[in-house]
Structure 1
């Protein structure tokens, strides 16, 4: 009888332990996925940690707000351990090993997730009242805590730091990592990023603004943001978001939602509905990637956000707007077969082929027709300039489209002439509700009386299916991680608004086939040809080892990624891992200007166009882009030519980047540039300005007109080898300074390969410009914008 009593007592205690909540998980103990009540709770009962069902036979270990009705469908999840790799609903468990490591194992005993900790002293896992899951020793030394590894949510007192990132869910019913991130950039500023599978872009704060113009401060390098219990979210860069119910709610959370917006939510007590009490972005259509390519976002406060395809396009996948729309016609780039369809008050942000001011409508239209990859152009009035000033933006990709009554321009969509009559028809709108709508999965189970053999076969089939699902999720997780930064700096995101990406070293090594095909070499490094995973042909420049710190390299690379002009080489991304510094550029089919000059392949017309295009690119660097950029090494080797011999200035930016407000704070530790092209300021240790690039440009133009290299001029020996070509040209032209004086004796210096077939006036103007650019006194040299004006006026006069 006594023995029976002890057995019953043991079973009672065992059942109570196995079916009740737990205060802490000690070494050698586990939480099982098969026991729904096998959870951890905070002392005040506000938070619960345990296995949460995310799909059919799929579970993640998570933390959620405790509810009176704790059904998994009504849970508010605040953290997940294995969001990208769910485990099986049988035989999976969370275990605290005797070594001090907390691991999550799947049904097949594979290690899905781990804290990678160790401790010889006793340790336990407990859930705090703050919602923080903490692994600590008996001496209260914290080995690991969930607050250091957030998913998409911040709780009061939880810090967002330089080493943490908030990543959205993929959709309301898909808990895996989505495409939106809240993080601190390398310039100490808090930003929002759309990080798609192929394209990345910063959309908050506005990419064209500096920290100062956006009301933010870069002075504090601590990079920390936090929300307090009263509803005040503040950041070290002086950004503040205050809840509308400041100080009154008892439960709060800040979440980056699957639609890319960051929202504050609050409620008075458990079981109440969560209310949005603050959000970072007021116009949801300004969020990048929300409707995918070739689509338009429209927002009405009463109906919410809606997506629609632009005319002539259809939705690619009716279940996911991320993929946007695809054309219903066969695209042609034949000029005579294309026309344009006007879409009023419609803007597509970013991905411009270039930015062209004071262009007429016909000039803009003609430019787009000449470009095979031009999908249309944006023609916009610039309010800040004088009346009637328009700018032209040819678009190579139609992304981030939205309608705005306040927009000062229109989009002209490139379409086949034969299908023009089909355009202008109303497009179907699709509402987007990422916030509250939840797509439920079918999770019902039916029991039936079957034989043991059939039951075994059914379980076997389910096991194989579950294993396949887990394998697929694992592969997707690996792919997603590979698309992120390298493991060495997995938290370092530094992406710009034009598709700028950070590549891993292994990714670029594979793209270049082990850096096997060298296509160029210079003082800065070696250039290799590569084919990226999206089949784009790229040029990968491996920089020589430098003492430049990673932070400085990332900041400067990011600035270059934001520069966008048709006469600047497009930079697609970079790699920074350990000692490896690599830059990823578009590939130029016709090589460099130096190669073409050496082979005498360029007629005088092409040389004039190259001189004009190069001047436009340098003028943009000096005067139009957000940062003041000195090239410091303008030479034919750094002027590349595309398939149409359009010049693109390369290797710019990493020499010197300055804020426009800090132009006087220049500093150079050594002479920069190439012998034969460097300005006198470098030699005489004078202040360095943009005029050093003007001087180098003048030498390049002189080389193009005469066909003579400044280092090997093949002219009469003159003292001072550095400037022999310049002195030779001046002597031959009798120090002529005007085009008419130069025209009279131009035949003595012109490139013999022209064989007398050239436009005397244009060549004389080029020589006049070159001689002005190479003046010893820098104040006598023109600016690059003045050079462009002289050459453009000449070109237009010749046309008329």
Structure 2
């Protein structure tokens, strides 16, 4: 009996339950299991969804065309887990009884739709290739694959501001590659190249204005689609018609591994290219890696070749580029130049000057040990132009007026033969196959325990050895121990050296602001971008803590109403951040200066609310700013607001937001919520309170602390402005009339506001500064109120 029960246990453990659904529908509580090879099929039999093998013991949950091509392969159009293949045993795709789609890798959850349904729902693959989770009673979609494309769009699949296409890594490696198709904030459809070292937009041509490239920036709906006949239209005025326009059933538009967008049509079991966006592949950024040149012919296709004096870093992967066979640290007398006529390396100009002679341009490059080459050309307006390069990327020889002079050791100059170098170091595109090797054979318990003990001991010894080695190297080089918490987060941004910061800031000459923990200077980067350089105080521990907090935050943040960060410097004791420069400075400087009319005030209040709502509810992790005030709200040239300075913010996981604990009071006197003073639990409502104080200050023109004694506590100071406004507003009843506004509004704004909008904004501000945090709205509710003309019910 014991043996029988044990046998049943083993069988139930090793064989998960399969789907009890029909082939076309997955019902709640059912699963598709990888071992059983069961699928969902569209009613027209054109598309199939299920587990698809992509390598040895590696599977995607994907959607593909049911018919194979002439080579016997399926064409995938969507993947749930393209960057995390699952095992071929005990993996499943399930629709839970709560209405959530869950993909598990041998029992471990790796993907979910994050949906929930209180009524019956089902998963179905439609004739269009769209995998939809439908709420049966209302026939509404809880989730659909069309909203989360990978590298492919199907006919009539919407492409919006919330969707992106990301290329695959190679023809057989479907993980995320280097290219992204998306709508940018200017409402223009663009293609971006991004790897660990370089980020650049190359389509449309980056040196053209949107209108010059035939695009429009005036339609912010951001929508594009390929119809079933082969016509592509986009709200930025980009459109095309395929060469085989007509009623053909099977088409797809794909962002390919080489960064080109192509439309494919299935004819006689073979995909034929009916249109490609970029006709010259070598103009695609990243076509070849660093220090290499792209050439293209119709016969042999694209080819990447190392420049003279450089060799391939990895012959099986062209994206890794080439490395020099020499170093550039010797004296200038040891170097010369070899000439590449009609050769250009686009972008990454360290230095530029017009009207300069060839010899002067050479001297600039020779005097800079980081200079790898310079480009020289003639322009009818500017004359001769010199571009000094410290990075050689996007090399090509297609219709370019530039001549490139490559810096190499003098002994190599005489042996240079321009046509012979191409045979030396050619790169080949990688077609590697993903291999995911995992074993499910379990040994005895004692052997497993012994193995884990010895393995843990081995890892511990290796970690200690690595730590001691890094400590020794760090001490030898800088004499300062690098904070390990900083090392963990210092990724993802351009890291500037302190010398670069010195040059960009002109030795910290142009101060544009200062606070308790930092000074901000105006600067200019080598690419002529004007920036704000924030230098944290070196002598305080608090300065370094603020730096680390900001770095942890800005790695996760991207919103048009939040300040953009270009990079940082962490060298020795220096802690510096490089931000975008805001032409109109801070909101604090504009208050009381008669420069804010009613439209600007309303736009600033709405924009700040959107930025804070993103921090609170739309980031990967929720973020509290904790120091919302006019000094931390910056205005660009059009007075669009951007929230800045996350130095006092704290990241909080969403499931811990209600029980957050702060080690010290954060914020600025006059804008702090009562929770700080009375040591109550801190939530996102502290930012809501500060936002309300800022809005009241904009409306009344009065500081939150005006007219209060200096020895009053925080609660009394803030109560002054809030109670004064409430008394003025409601002294004659709840209805807001013109007399109320005349009593409280900033005199500079009299008779310039719209009554209904002003009533709404004032009521929002007063609701935000309620002492009881539960009575305050969330920032997303504030955005809905300010952006929706029909929100009067909120105040009832």
TM-score category, normalised to shorter length: 0.5 to 0.7
Instruction: Choose from 364, 367, 371 the match for 1:370.
Output: 367
1:735-766 per-residue CA deviation (whole Å, 9 max, x = no partner) reads xxxxxxxxxxxxxxxxxxxxxxxxxxxxxxxx
1:584 Cα deviation (Å)? Answer: 3.5
Matches within 5 A, 1:541-556: none
Change over 3 Å in CA distance of 1:441–1:199 after alignment to 2 = closer
Change over 3 Å in CA distance of 1:82–1:226 after alignment to 2 = same
Query: What does residue 400 of structure 2 align with?
Result: 407
Query: What does residue 151 of structure 1 align with?
Result: 150
Q: Report if aligned partners of 2:289, 2:319 keep a CA contact under 8 Å in 1.
A: yes
1:197-228 per-residue CA deviation (whole Å, 9 max, x = no partner) reads 12100011111111111110001001111100
Q: Tell me, what secondary structure is at the counterpart of 1:362?
A: helix
Q: Report if aligned partners of 1:374, 1:395 keep a CA contact under 8 Å in 2.
A: yes
Change over 3 Å in CA distance of 1:509–1:182 after alignment to 2 = closer
1:249 Cα deviation (Å)? Answer: 2.5
Matches of 1:283 and 1:432, distance apart in 2: 19
Change over 3 Å in CA distance of 1:35–1:322 after alignment to 2 = same
Query: What does residue 31 of structure 2 align with?
Result: 30
1:507 Cα deviation (Å)? Answer: 5.8
Instruction: Choose from 381, 389, 400 the match for 1:385.
Output: 381
Q: Report if aligned partners of 1:230, 1:246 keep a CA contact under 8 Å in 2.
A: yes
Query: What does residue 423 of structure 2 align with?
Result: 428
Q: Tell me, what secondary structure is at the counterpart of 2:414?
A: helix
Matches of 2:40 and 2:346, distance apart in 1: 47
Query: What does residue 327 of structure 1 align with?
Result: 324
Matches of 1:101 and 1:427, distance apart in 2: 55
Query: What does residue 416 of structure 1 align with?
Result: 409
Matches within 5 A, 1:127-142: 127-139=125-137, 140-142=139-141
Query: What does residue 659 of structure 2 align with?
Result: none
RCO greater where, 1 or 2, for CA within 8 Å and sep 6 or more?
1
Query: What does residue 676 of structure 2 align with?
Result: none
Instruction: Choose from 574, 582, 606 the match for 1:654.
Output: 582
Q: Tell me, what secondary structure is at the counterpart of 2:169?
A: strand
Query: What does residue 566 of structure 2 align with?
Result: 584
Matches within 5 A, 1:214-613: 214-268=213-267, 272-382=269-379, 384-385=380-381, 389-404=383-398, 406-424=399-417, 425-428=420-423, 523-524=512-513, 564-565=527-528, 576=557, 581=563, 583-584=565-566
Matches of 2:122 and 2:349, distance apart in 1: 55
Change over 3 Å in CA distance of 1:80–1:591 after alignment to 2 = closer
Change over 3 Å in CA distance of 1:566–1:316 after alignment to 2 = same
Query: What does residue 54 of structure 2 align with?
Result: 54
Matches of 2:80 and 2:200, distance apart in 1: 27
Q: Tell me, what secondary structure is at the counterpart of 1:74?
A: coil
Structure 1: 5+ residue stretches without partners = 1-16, 446-451, 465-503, 513-518, 530-539, 544-556, 593-637, 641-649, 658-666, 671-688, 690-800
Matches of 2:516 and 2:384, distance apart in 1: 39
Relative to the length of structure 2, the TM-score reads 0.56
Matches of 1:651 and 1:82, distance apart in 2: 35
Structure 2: 5+ residue stretches without partners = 1-17, 453-487, 497-506, 535-550, 586-593, 598-636, 638-796
Q: Report if aligned partners of 2:251, 2:265 keep a CA contact under 8 Å in 1.
A: yes
Q: Tell me, what secondary structure is at the counterpart of 1:354?
A: strand
Q: Report if aligned partners of 2:20, 2:31 keep a CA contact under 8 Å in 1.
A: no
Q: Report if aligned partners of 2:342, 2:400 keep a CA contact under 8 Å in 1.
A: yes
State the number of aligned residues.
504
1:527 Cα deviation (Å)? Answer: 11
Change over 3 Å in CA distance of 1:454–1:566 after alignment to 2 = closer
How well do the aligned residues superpose, as a CA RMSD in angstroms? 4.6
Residues 1:43 and 2:43 are matched in the alignment = yes
1:329 Cα deviation (Å)? Answer: 1.6
Change over 3 Å in CA distance of 1:132–1:347 after alignment to 2 = same
Matches of 1:331 and 1:247, distance apart in 2: 58
Q: Report if aligned partners of 1:21, 1:41 keep a CA contact under 8 Å in 2.
A: no
1:141 Cα deviation (Å)? Answer: 1.6
1:418 Cα deviation (Å)? Answer: 2.9
Q: Report if aligned partners of 2:151, 2:255 keep a CA contact under 8 Å in 1.
A: yes
Q: Report if aligned partners of 2:173, 2:434 keep a CA contact under 8 Å in 1.
A: no
Matches of 1:570 and 1:286, distance apart in 2: 34
1:669 Cα deviation (Å)? Answer: 5.1
Residues 1:116 and 2:114 are matched in the alignment = yes
Matches of 1:138 and 1:568, distance apart in 2: 54
Q: Report if aligned partners of 1:305, 1:433 keep a CA contact under 8 Å in 2.
A: no
Matches of 1:392 and 1:189, distance apart in 2: 32
Q: Report if aligned partners of 1:505, 1:580 keep a CA contact under 8 Å in 2.
A: no
Change over 3 Å in CA distance of 1:159–1:432 after alignment to 2 = farther
1:103 Cα deviation (Å)? Answer: 0.1
Q: Report if aligned partners of 1:309, 1:428 keep a CA contact under 8 Å in 2.
A: no
1:509 Cα deviation (Å)? Answer: 11
Q: Report if aligned partners of 2:19, 2:32 keep a CA contact under 8 Å in 1.
A: no
Q: Report if aligned partners of 1:263, 1:277 keep a CA contact under 8 Å in 2.
A: yes
Query: What does residue 210 of structure 1 align with?
Result: 209
Matches of 1:120 and 1:332, distance apart in 2: 68
Query: What does residue 92 of structure 2 align with?
Result: 93
Change over 3 Å in CA distance of 1:508–1:191 after alignment to 2 = closer
Q: Tell me, what secondary structure is at the counterpart of 2:411?
A: helix
Q: Tell me, what secondary structure is at the counterpart of 2:48?
A: strand
Q: Tell me, what secondary structure is at the counterpart of 1:147?
A: helix
Q: Tell me, what secondary structure is at the counterpart of 2:174?
A: strand
